[in-house]
Chain A
Amino acid sequence: MKNTVYSRSEYLAEIRRENIRIKTVQLLSVVAVLAGWELAAQRGLIDAFIVSSPVRMVKTFVQMARSDLAVHVLYTVGETLTGFLLGVAAGFFIAAGLWFSPFLNRVFAPFLVVLNSLPKIALGPVIIVWAGAGISAIITMAVAISLIVTVMELTHGFYATDSGLLTTVKSFGATRWESFYKIVLPCNIPVLFQSMKVNIGLSLVGVIAGEFLVSKAGLGYLIVYAGQVFRMDLVMMSVVLLGFIAFAMYSAVSRLEKAVVKFINHI
């Protein structure tokens, strides 16, 4: 650690330089991995038929983009968002219910713990039978994976609300409902968004798992199909695409959080 005394402009310039260094190394790492991969494939060090290569993936992408890639992406994104919204909404209402009734919270707490540790993918066959073999099963899977975590995190957050703030509104005669929307809810916006950031990823996991089991379209379907006919380029390309989609959806939630926090601070 350098112990240099900076002037304001030097300090800011140093921060800018540090950011540029970080971004550069990040970019170089990606380029290095891709170049190494491509080179190893072309030199025959690794079998490009099995592990694919960046150039082959790009070619596949271009070829698929001309055909029906957009449809698959739309299916996967649509199912993920639907599952995510349903999971967050249901989780929020259940958690709110458990906050309103400490009795119910004590009744259901052990069940939540058990359900949380249960691998929800094991429910796949049951979900298909119950929800029907199609999009509804896939969305149900996404909800099943994200719901319990949401309920647990939000319930915990609601109960951990600053007791001083609650006593203050109570001393003014607030009902439990008023305590909830005036104090508990605004206090838990960070918790809500933290759980949403985790959930958008979990929901995608649920959708892909669902598409593996039952689907006619979507990136999960594409991966399973391509794996079966041994088109590893298509498998790898779809996986990379999933990475981009996950990142984009996470960023969207982050942006929403900033907007909501700004809004809350101005009501």
Chain B
Amino acid sequence: MSMLSVENIRLSYQTVAGETHAIKDISFSVEEGEFIGIVGPSGCGKSTLLSCIAGLTQPTGGRVVLDGKNVDGVSENIGYMLQTDNLLPWRSIYRNVLLGLEIQKKLNEETKAYAAELLKKYDLWDFRDSYPSALSGGMRQRVSLIRTLAVKPRLLLLDEAFSALDYQTRMNVSRDVYRILRSENKTMLMVTHDIPEAVSMSDRVMVLSQRPAVIASVVKCDFGRRRDPVAVRNNPRFQLYFDKVWKEMSR
């Protein structure tokens, strides 16, 4: 059985001015440990799709099933990361990392130790008492990821998580995130408008159509699971996958 299955998701926005059909009908499933990229023309509803899977937006129809259970509302098994790091400027790095645990009432010696271990493992322990303003954009995004991981979600949703960063930082952070998520054995779904980013990090890239969105095509990016998302860009097949995605997107 798949870890996540998205079944016939439909979504229309209602406003007084009228109705917008954002997602027509989307179904797919994700196996445990898979990394999926979702790309599509801007405004096609890819972020909305992610928000439905996160349980933050109620779809008009269809359902999301995680580990055999319907997702209605926010699930503790799903971590959600946004474009900006959204660290609380008045909290130290360590206390920022504990935020999710606090809200989910899971703050105890064991979870604190796990959070500390993550900080140590990913070179942020020395900054535990610093405030977010003292850290670089890339470090802040890593703290944000650790905050999401601290509550031990099994599935991570990344919504344009690197697009606020400058080019160089973005490459480094995508490599860090890839490494961290693989070594923590997570499953990931990322939405991005950056095709190379999607191809370099995903096992499969789903291309969405214009609004109302359907899945136009799925491109397998066969680089294995021990890849380096920066180095893989020099792989001859990278261009091949990129062209496939690009063609589907510009149809």
Q: Which residues of A contact B (CB under 8 A)?
A: 162, 164-165, 167-174, 178, 182-183, 186, 264-265
Q: How many whole Å from B118's CB to the nearest CB in chain A?
A: 16
| Contact (Cβ within 8 A) B86 A172 | no
| Contact (Cβ within 8 A) A173 B56 | no
| Contact (Cβ within 8 A) A167 B103 | no
| Contact (Cβ within 8 A) B88 A183 | yes
Bound form: Cα–Cα A173–B79 in Å: 10
Tell me if B131 is interfacial: C-beta within 8 Å of chain A. Answer: yes
| Contact (Cβ within 8 A) A173 B103 | yes
| Contact (Cβ within 8 A) A171 B84 | no
| Contact (Cβ within 8 A) A186 B88 | yes
Partner of A173, one of B88, B104, B131: B104
Q: How many A-B residue pairs have CB under 8 A?
A: 47
B102 closest partner in A (C-beta): A182
A166 closest partner in B (C-beta): B86
| Contact (Cβ within 8 A) B99 A171 | no
Q: How many whole Å from B154's CB to the nearest CB in chain A?
A: 15
**In the complex, which residues of chain A have a beta carbon less than 8 angstroms from the beta carbon of B215?**
none
| Contact (Cβ within 8 A) B90 A165 | no
**In the complex, which residues of chain A have a beta carbon less than 8 angstroms from the beta carbon of B100?**
172
Bound form: Cα–Cα A172–B74 in Å: 7
Main secondary structure of the interface of A (DSSP, over half): helix
Number of residues in B with C-beta < 8 Å to the partner? Answer: 20
Q: How many whole Å from A257's CB to the nearest CB in chain B?
A: 14
Q: What 0/1 readout, one digit per residue, does chain B (234-246) give for beta carbons within 8 Å of chain A?
A: 0000000000000
23 sample A-B contacts, Cβ–Cβ < 8 Å, listed by A number = A164-B82, A164-B83, A165-B86, A167-B56, A167-B82, A167-B86, A168-B80, A168-B82, A168-B99, A169-B103, A170-B74, A171-B54, A171-B74, A171-B79, A172-B103, A173-B74, A173-B76, A182-B88, A182-B99, A182-B103, A183-B88, A264-B90, A265-B90
**In the complex, which residues of chain A have a beta carbon less than 8 angstroms from the beta carbon of B131?**
265
Tell me if B151 is interfacial: C-beta within 8 Å of chain A. Answer: yes
| Contact (Cβ within 8 A) B84 A164 | yes
Partner of B99, one of A162, A164, A169, A264: A169
5 closest A-B pairs by CB: A171-B80, A172-B100, A172-B103, A168-B86, A173-B74
| Contact (Cβ within 8 A) B90 A186 | yes
**In the complex, which residues of chain A have a beta carbon less than 8 angstroms from the beta carbon of B80?**
167-168, 171
Q: How many whole Å from A93's CB to the nearest CB in chain B?
A: 23
With A171-B74, A186-B90 in contact, is A178–B103 under 8 Å at CB?
Answer: yes
Q: How many whole Å from A160's CB to the nearest CB in chain B?
A: 16
Q: In the complex, which of the residues A168, A174, A186 has the most CB atoms of chain B within 10 Å of its own CB atom?
A: A168
Q: In the complex, which of the residues B56, B78, B86 has the most CB atoms of chain A within 10 Å of its own CB atom?
A: B86
Q: How many whole Å from B106's CB to the nearest CB in chain A?
A: 10
